[in-house]
Structure 1
Amino acid sequence: MESGSSLLVGDFKCRVSSVLNKLTKEYGKDYMFDKSEETCWNSHQGTPQYVVIQFPQENGADVRQLNIMFQGGFVGKDCEVLITTGDSKEFQHCTHFYPKDINATQTFPLNANNVRQIKILFPTSTDFFGRVTIYQLDILGFPSS
């Protein structure tokens, strides 16, 4: 099955659970999407942590793949993807995924159609304090028709 192209283009919106010490200029959410391996989003301590993406496409998106690069030692464990579809505001379970504690881009398959929002939930972390650090995040798929 083809994974499509990045859905994180144009007017997508992103929310995160927290930013380390509220230092958004150094560790803000936008750094997950700047394609630089020098910058990252750092969450504050505590669990759970999450990233929510709202797609700009009018009919939502058909999501096929999640690409994510953590900092080793600050990796989400027992992660879950939740989605909203159509006009629903309620998040529903899509899939679980289990990242390795490494500094490389990891790819996880997704298969959901007409997705308006996607929530990537990190219930726990490899960090003792529950912090999560993400250098790159991308969601691949197709605009829903």
Structure 2
Amino acid sequence: MASSLICSETQSRVSSVLNRDVKQFGKKYMFDSNEEACWNSDQGDSQWVTLEFPQPVRVSELKVQFQGGFSGKTCKLEGCPKDGDLAKIIDFYPEDSSSLQSFPIQEAPTVHRLKIVFENSADFFGRIIVYSLDILGERAL
């Protein structure tokens, strides 16, 4: 049964934070289950989020909730083993909406690190706003 792979030991990084204001718009707000808090990127194309898991995982689903008007349009999920190079797993194309969206992943490899790349945005300036991000799957042995 697939469950959330994000835990307290999962390390995350983001490409940017709006005005470097991590107290108000930092990456932690994607994972806090608070519907009113969010990660807000600065402007510019190709914003990204990386996740490094404490052990290898097999990903089966990506769930993301944007703010409408600030969603990714062309996106890709990349992954790699602990010391490997990132390789594309899937391309995905979210709707420009504020609803929670789900993207199933067929035959995902076992990875230690994931990178979600928002190649462009519905926003004219390239900003991305994410209220919720979750990765479902199972821990690999």
TM-score after normalising by structure 1: 0.94
What SS does the aligned partner of 1:128 have?
Answer: coil
1:16 counterpart = 2:14 = yes
User: For the Cα contact (< 8 Å) 1:47–1:130, is it kept in 2?
Assistant: yes
Amino acid at match of 1:61: V
User: For the Cα contact (< 8 Å) 1:86–1:114, is it kept in 2?
Assistant: no
Could you tell me which residue of structure 2 aligns to residue 63 of structure 1? 59
Could you tell me which residue of structure 2 aligns to residue 37 of structure 1? 35
What displacement does 1:112 show? 1.6
> Which 4+ runs in 1 deviate beyond 2 A?
none
Which range is displaced more, 111-120 or 27-36? Answer: 111-120
RMSD of aligned Cα (Å): 0.9
What displacement does 1:86 show? 4.6
Pick one of 42, 50, 67 that aligns with 2:48: 50
What SS does the aligned partner of 1:31 have?
Answer: helix
1:100 counterpart = 2:109 = no
Amino acid at match of 1:136: S
Q: Encode CA deviations 1:12-51: one digit per residue, 9 max, x unaligned.
A: 0000000000000000000000001100000000011000
Amino acid at match of 2:5: L
Unaligned runs of 5+ in 2: none
Amino acid at match of 2:33: K
1:109 counterpart = 2:104 = yes
Equivalent pairs counted in the alignment come to 140
TM-score after normalising by structure 2: 0.96
Amino acid at match of 2:101: Q
Could you tell me which residue of structure 1 aligns to residue 138 of structure 2? 142
Within 5 Å, give how 1:118-137 maps onto structure 2. 118-137=114-133
Amino acid at match of 2:92: F
Distance 2:75 2:66 in 1: 13
What displacement does 1:78 show? 1.0
Q: Percent identity?
A: 46
Distance 1:25 1:10 in 2: 19
Distance 1:38 1:140 in 2: 22
